[in-house]
């Protein structure tokens, strides 16, 4: 069945470091791919999305490119800030079904 595999955490980075969180997927059809972020004590918020192969989603300095050939949707940011500390979820949506990865906790230290 459809699924998402996400890089395990936790990840700790210094402020201004480069961030990569790996995400790969398995899907039988043509899914849309998403990154959601969860700040402490809150629900999830959409960070970015891509709906077809080679699309790049971007928001708040974060980027991810939908790569069909490697079935990947890795999240990157060039320079992280303390305020980026959160849990990041890769997700796959197809039809009316939605699948989340297990989440990667990111802590950014000053």
Distance separating alpha carbons of residues 85 and 64, to the nearest angstrom: 18
State which residue, 32 or 108, has the beta carbon closest to other proteins: 32
Residue in 65, 72, 94, 107 binding other proteins, rule: CB under 8 A:
94
Q: Taking CB under 8 A as the rule, does residue 9 contact other proteins?
A: no
- Give the residues across from 32 on adjacent strands: 93
Q: Binding mask 22-41 vs other proteins (x if CB under 8 A, - otherwise)? A: ---------xx---------
Minimum distance, C-beta of residue 19 to other proteins, in the bound complex (Å): 19
State which residue, 73 or 101, has the beta carbon closest to other proteins: 101
Please state the φ and ψ torsions of residue 100, each to the nearest 5 degrees: -100, 150
b/e for 26-45, b at 16 or more Cβ within 10 A? ebeeebbbbbbbbeeeeebe
Q: Binding mask 38-77 vs other proteins (x if CB under 8 A, - otherwise)? A: ----xxxxx--x-x--------------------------
Distance separating alpha carbons of residues 36 and 107, to the nearest angstrom: 16
């Amino acid at each position: 069945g459809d699924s998402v595999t996400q890089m395990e955490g936790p990840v700790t980075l210094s402020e201004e470091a480069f961030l990569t969180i790996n995400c790969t997927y398995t899907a039988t059809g043509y899914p849309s791919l998403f990154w959601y972020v969860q700040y402490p004590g809150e629900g999830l918020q959409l960070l970015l999305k891509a709906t077809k192969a080679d699309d790049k989603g971007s928001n708040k300095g974060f980027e991810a490119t939908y790569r069909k050939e490697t079935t990947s949707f890795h999240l990157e940011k060039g320079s992280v800030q303390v305020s980026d500390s959160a849990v990041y979820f890769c997700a796959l949506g197809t039809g009316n079904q939605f699948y989340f990865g297990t989440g990667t906790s990111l802590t950014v230290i000053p």
